[in-house]
Amino acid sequence: RAVASGGGHSLHSHVSDMLPPLATARELAGASSASAAEEHLVCGKLRFFHYTCDRHDDCGWGCGYRTVQSQLSWLAPDTAPPSIPELQQVLGVGAREWIGVPDAVTLLDALHGAAVEVLPLASGLALASEWRRLAAHFDAGGGPVMVGGGGDVYSKTVIGVRGGAAGEPELLILDPHFMDAAALHASDLGAVRAAGWIAWRPSGAALPSASFYNLGMVRRPADGAVRTAPPATSEPAGGWSI
């Protein structure tokens, strides 16, 4: 079936029972040794979408879709985002095809008219000089950031950034390759963090230097953000981020 602009489903009980719970970035991150002034986090609530969280088997290829669903949940927290098959219908791609940041731009625009600024990084090392653009994005009320790359084909959802030791920035990452939905529904976030699925990670570990990256920074339509030109690096639709 077609998914219209603003697509999603109202949260009837049988739908909401399968969705990851709503939470703020602070609730997901837990306690921190850094001061609030040093951390720049997504404002508002979102859902941590991950492999098989809605009983759809996307292991090995669906992490890009899960990151987009997390972004959509921030844009419309009271609505269930479209399922992976529905997102594929919007893109016109087949089952098990990987997607990257260019596809996310298409989906977020088609479904919500949301603007997405794409920050291309020639290498993971470039984040050391660009992380304050992420900080400014979050401080201005921007939403979760989708990370897609070339050599590093694992999509990531970034919901915060801070300066780290020795000048290396750290990213607050929701890893969509997580699979234990029961832990999230039981609000056992401590166990999820302990296993590393929600974690502050040094940028060098999160974004290896051997890969280029595109960072898709979504904003709500009403905040006046302007979409940038297409990414300067080549991250073909249906071929990089999983």
Give the 3-state secondary structure percentages of the chain, helix then strand then coil, rounded to 5.
35, 20, 45
* 63 belongs to the catalytic site: yes
153-171 b/e (C-beta count within 10 Å ≥ 16 → b): bbbbbbbbbbbbeeeebbb
φ/ψ of 94, rounded to 5, equals -90, 175
Three-state DSSP at 161 gives strand
CA 150 to chain centre: 17
Question: Is residue 175 annotated as part of the catalytic site, yes or no?
Answer: yes
What is the CA 180 to chain-centroid distance, rounded? 18
Query: Which among 63, 103, 112, 137 is annotated as catalytic?
Result: 63
Catalytic residue among 54, 58, 152, 175: 175
Catalytic one of 9, 56, 109, 177: 177
14 flagged as catalytic: no
Q: Catalytic positions, please?
A: 63, 175, 177
